[in-house]
Amino acid sequence: MSSVSSNRAPIGVIGTGYVGLVTAAGFAALGSDVYCVDIDAEKIAGLRAGRVPIWEPGLAELIAEHRERLHFSTDLGAALEHARLLFVAVGTPPTYSGDADLSAVHAVVGAMPPSDRHALVMKSTVPVGTGESIERVFAEQGKGFRYVSCPEFLKEGSAVKDFLEPDRVVIGDSGDWAGDAVEALYAPLDAPIVRTDVKSAEMVKLASNAFLATKISFINEIANVCEETGADVVEVARGMGLDDRIGPKFLQAGIGFGGSCFPKDVTALKQLAGNSGYHFQLLNAVIEVNELQKRRVIAKLQKHLGSLVGKEIALLGLAFKPNTDDMREASSLVLSSRLQGAGARVRVYDPVAEEEARKLIRGVVFAPAATEAVAGADAIVLVTEWPEFRELDLAAAVQSMRGTLLVDGRNFIDPEAARAAGFVYEAIGRPSPHGAR
């Protein structure tokens, strides 16, 4: 960040989920007054009282620090009165057909009054062509509203840092004041700015997420081949990642990707292509590999335990990744259901996501600590690589168990340490002394 000005354009932010709140807090930190709007009255009342509804490192602190510049309301009035740029960060969840559900976006568009001095800045991930159709709606209604696509690339767990230090800012617009105004807002971050047309900006977002998801499914398949051939995927990824053209990131094999973006955006892009008459074969495979990857853990357990009927299985970690309480599309959801389907009894522990998980996972025992989840278990499955699981006293853990199996779904625990402690240790794509699987 090169400078923080106290005299910056006020903005509106519609939708106070992950993206909306981080965007709001980030721009407040850069000096803007931010008028946040959400239809959820309870959430707004909480935010006014200083309660941050999501668990995201540094976010509550940033909101508290810039409270005087953050205004929360269920009403658009103040945002429209004070700000020209209205950032839209409402949910676009998948529908049954795999298309994005744009009803919340359409509700926002419909709520805009006629105005020549405002612009909608789309942060929500939308199909390519959404901006064009919104611009057409505005034109037909004679509203004069401008439209900018400004996709968000932040990652949960490091969202505040990602906002303040983005790899790039993508701004798609039709060449009027609004695109320049968005660029001016982001200028203090000193990030590369990609100015382009609206459709290309929309596609950058979908293509980036689909590419990253492909990278994960690719390394997961390499891991599966490593298991058959005796190679070690961690070593393979290390060797591959040093090639500049490949890079070391998103090459961690595991039990599949989850979260609010990858599964949804890969499906949305596949669907978008299909709707336009193109069959995106590669993405079908990316999705299928990911689904199978979650289920391979069951076979690893069965290899050692035989039938899982009546077996006690402890899941360590539930969130789709560490440093978040987000359970959307978490691998733990499929795993806990599959385990119960196979007759196992499942106990689970997550340092942060228990409250969210209780809304989605049925029939399992929630333990208050990792040590309590594993005590008496036949096997442990490490699902989410929370740092505290590296601190687990492995010898004490295995002593407290009925069995000795540890399936490390994230290649997170040191194999030597686990085996020295007395565990039968299985990882993803790493040599197993117990033969291929």
Residue 268 binds ligand UDX (CB under 6 A) = no
Outline where 68-126 has alpha helix (H): 77-82, 103-111
Task: Provide, rounded to whole angstroms, the least separation between the CB of residue 67 and ligand UDX.
Answer: 26
295 binds ligand UDX (CB under 6 A): no
259 binds ligand UDX (CB under 6 A): yes
Which residues are CB-contacts of 359 (< 8 A; sequence separation ≥ 6)?
327
Among 38, 152, 354, 408, binds ligand UDX (CB under 6 A): 152
Q: How far is the CB of 319 from ligand UDX (least distance, A)?
A: 9
Q: Does 251 bind ligand UDX (CB under 6 A)?
A: yes
- What CA–CA distances, in Å, run from 220 to 251, 255, 260, 275, 405? 8, 8, 20, 29, 22
Euclidean distance between CA atoms 150 and 318, whole angstroms? 31
Spell out the residues 6+ positions from residue 52 whose beta carbon is closer than 8 angstroms to its own.
Answer: 21, 59, 60, 63
Window contacting ligand UDX (CB under 6 A); options: 45-53, 58-66, 136-144, 244-252: 244-252
User: Which residue's CB is nearer to ligand UDX, number 15 or number 254?
Assistant: 254
Residue 172 touching ligand UDX (CB under 6 A) = no
155 is a site residue for ligand UDX (CB under 6 A): yes
Q: Which is nearer to ligand UDX, 161 or 402 (CB)?
A: 161
Among 236, 261, 318, 381, binds ligand UDX (CB under 6 A): 261
CB 363 within 8 A of CB 350: no
Q: How far is CA 121 from CA 145, 178, 202, 215, in A?
A: 11, 8, 12, 30
For ligand UDX, give the closer residue by CB, 81 or 165: 165
Residue from the set 88, 121, 128, 154 that interacts with ligand UDX by CB under 6 A:
154
- In the shown chain, the binding pattern of residues 191 to 210 toward ligand UDX, with x for contact by CB under 6 A and - for none, equals ------------------x-
Q: Is 262 in the site for ligand UDX (CB under 6 A)?
A: yes
The size of the interface with ligand UDX (CB under 6 A), counted in residues, is 19
Structure tokens belonging to residue 287: 């999705």
Nearer to ligand UDX, 162 or 372 (CB): 162
Record the tokens describing residue 284, joined without a space: 């079908």
Q: How many residues does the chain have?
A: 437
Nearer to ligand UDX, 50 or 387 (CB): 387
Q: Which residues are catalytically annotated? A: 261
Report the nearest approach of ligand UDX to the CB of residue 53 (Å). Answer: 17
- Residue 264 near residue 93, CB atoms below 8 Å: yes
Amino acid at site 250: F
By the rule CB under 6 A, 257 interacts with ligand UDX: yes
Beta carbon of residue 264, minimum distance to ligand UDX (angstroms, whole number): 9
Among 40, 37, 43, which residue's Cα sits nearest to residue 12?
A: 37
Amino acid identity, position 424: V
Q: Using alpha carbons, select from 398, 395, 428, 423 the residue that is nearest to residue 411.
A: 428
Q: Residues 371 to 410: which contact ligand UDX by CB under 6 A?
A: none
Left, alpha or beta for 250 (phi > 0: left; psi -120 to 50: alpha)?
left
Rule CB under 6 A: is residue 289 a binding residue for ligand UDX? no
Candidates 70-78, 179-187, 250-258, 347-355: pick the segment binding ligand UDX (CB under 6 A): 250-258
Binding span for ligand UDX by CB under 6 A among 245-253, 343-351, 356-364, 386-394? 245-253
Q: Name the 3-class secondary structure at 21.
A: helix
Residue 154 CB, shortest distance to ligand UDX, in Å, is 5
Question: Going along 295-404, which residue ranges are E strands?
Answer: 312-316, 345-349, 365-366, 379-382
Cβ(407)–Cβ(296) below 8 Å: no
Tell which positions 306-335 bind ligand UDX, by CB under 6 A.
320-321
- Give the residue with the Cβ less far from ligand UDX, 166 or 415: 166
What is the rounded distance in angstroms from the CA atom of residue 316 to the CA atom of residue 370? 7
Identify residues 333-362 at the interface with ligand UDX (CB under 6 A).
none
Contact between residue 43 and residue 81 where contact means Cβ atoms under 8 Å apart: no
Which residue number has the CB closest to ligand UDX? 261
Could you say which of 124, 130, 149, 252 contacts ligand UDX (CB under 6 A)?
252
The CB density around residue 133, as the number of other CB atoms within 10 Å, is 14
Is residue 70 near ligand UDX by the rule CB under 6 A? Answer: no
Which two structure tokens, joined as six digits, stand for 300? 């690893």
Which residues in this chain contact ligand UDX in the complex, by CB under 6 A? 152-156, 209, 212, 216, 250-252, 254, 257-259, 261-262, 320-321
